[in-house]
Structure 1
Amino acid sequence: MSTSYLEQPLLTSPGQPLRVAVYARIAHGIRTGVFPLGAALPRETELGVALGVSRTVVREALMLLEEDGLISTRRGVGRFVADSVPHAGLEEFRPLDLVLAEPGAAVVFEHVELTKQSATDFTATHLGVADGTPFWFREAIARRDGEPVAVVQEYLPAEDDRTGYARAIAAALVDIEGADSTVLMRMIDRSAVVLTAGVCRLGVSVAGAVRSKQLRLKPSDPVMLLTQTAEIDGRPAYLAKVAVIGSVGHLSVRQSTAG
């Protein structure tokens, strides 16, 4: 079954890197059970033949899958599907403004930067676009009762063909330097555009040189990383990468079985 699944034609957008299409095909196969949890994946050469791409493209896609926790490598043995993986579409996507909110605790966002950038591997992979695609990048520091608790980086397409979405982004970015909320929260407040749940990935890292100064931590202090995407019309449309301090307390991720 996995061979026939892999041999289906790859669907790519104009300019989209092949590694992104390969990543999406294998990731979808993992989430839908074509590749069972804990099962061995075909070897790089076998994947390349089945998908009709080079071994280099396959290797790049596998590296991205491993970074996202969907597969793991056993040295000298091969690559295996993870024993448990995040499931797309179960998380109720909410702005971080609401995720961090607590009774009696005010959450505000201190604007740091708004720039137009070109898509990198990170944005290209999670939003399924070509390298170099223009994106708005907004960074802010979330403060709860005056104390920094998270660094929020949001990525939004600078050009988008979905009805009303480009206007919604433009409206959300007006006077963003003085805003005390996320761009996502502003879009929800200022437009009728409906974003639906994508994927929420949770991980652990260290603060590092830059984030440690923003969050008043040591560079070696641990932080929780949240990578969130949201969709419009079944296509990724929004990406956020959030570093949260360990002392922030419990974060609620609501789940729904609604189709």
Structure 2
Amino acid sequence: MAVSGQQRRPVVVLYERIADAIHDGTYPPGSTLPSEPRLATELGVSRPALREALLLLQEDGLLSVRRGVGRTVNDSPPRRGYEHIQPLEDLLGAGRALRVRPLLRTVEEPTDFTTQHLLAPAAAELRFWESLLTGDGAAAALSQEWAAAEETLQRHHPDFAEALRSAPQAPSSMLSVLAAASRGTPLTAHSGISATLLGRRRGEQLGRPADTPAVLVTQVVRVDGVPLLAAKHMLPTGAPALPVLQSN
């Protein structure tokens, strides 16, 4: 789930161009795309690359092929997913943001996780936010987020450092604070997804048994290649679906 724009395949870039046009209304739901020759000319791409991108869009549920009509945009195309940097409360909200309830806002020493992903020195002090995401009265996810050391933040993203200081108990995720402080500042990220069990402590926080299956999402967000935020998101069975873009 890399978000970086570096060395992306042309077909993936083309996929995103057409998907963006669908989501911004250029090709609204129910509309028919131009023919392949015309669309290839409009986009300035080869027909083989276009055909592959269109096939991926069809597989991912954005397009359908109707005999005698052509490729049409589905009435309810899936929301953009984890291929873009979005706060988890927005991504899982299905059109409305989930509520973020702060559980813990503190400063802690580096752990193995933050040493690996934030390159934090042993003596560093890192801001740590733990939040519970809820919707319709039920817990949907548990998020744990760490910011890089203050010196790193001041050097590479002082606006983010200031935003964190100004919102110690903000009812939002740390990533939401970072996104709001990054207008005009390009962010890149990498995420990993694995299966696990909640365990006792997380089960208690989410109101589920300890042996409840869950999806663990790890995430690292960077500016100019420097990691500024690392996170773990725990989504138990029954949590809202996490949209994910897949491509060959």
Same fold by TM-score greater than 0.5:
yes
Gaps of 5+ in 1: 1-89
Distance 2:164 2:103 in 1: 16
- CA offset digits 1:114-172 (Å, max 9, x no partner): 11111111101112232332210000100012211111011002412555624423323
Does 2:192 match 1:214? no
2:144 and 2:232 in contact (8 A); partners too? yes
With CA pairs under 8 Å and 6+ residues apart, which has the higher RCO, 1 or 2? 2
Q: What is the one-letter code of the residue matched to 2:187?
A: T
Aligned match for 2:94, one of 95, 99, 102: 102
- CA offset digits 1:218-251 (Å, max 9, x no partner): 0111111000001111121110111011212421
Q: What is the one-letter code of the residue matched to 1:215?
A: L
* TM-score, normalised via structure 1 length: 0.58
Secondary structure of 2:227's counterpart equals: strand
Distance 1:168 1:106 in 2: 22
- CA offset digits 1:22-55 (Å, max 9, x no partner): xxxxxxxxxxxxxxxxxxxxxxxxxxxxxxxxxx
Aligned match for 1:136, one of 118, 127, 136: 127
Give the 3 Å change call, closer, same or farther, for CA 226–120 of structure 1 in structure 2. same
Distance 2:132 2:108 in 1: 20
Distance 2:132 2:111 in 1: 22
Q: What is the one-letter code of the residue matched to 1:231?
A: R
Does 2:166 match 1:174? yes
Segments ≥4 residues shifted beyond 3 Å? 161-164, 190-193, 254-257
Aligned match for 2:117, one of 119, 126, 148: 126
2:188 and 2:222 in contact (8 A); partners too? yes
Q: What is the one-letter code of the residue matched to 1:146?
A: G
Name the structure 1 match of 2:57: none
Name the structure 2 match of 1:233: 224
Aligned residues: 166
1:156 and 1:237 in contact (8 A); partners too? yes
Distance 1:157 1:197 in 2: 15
Gaps of 5+ in 2: 1-81
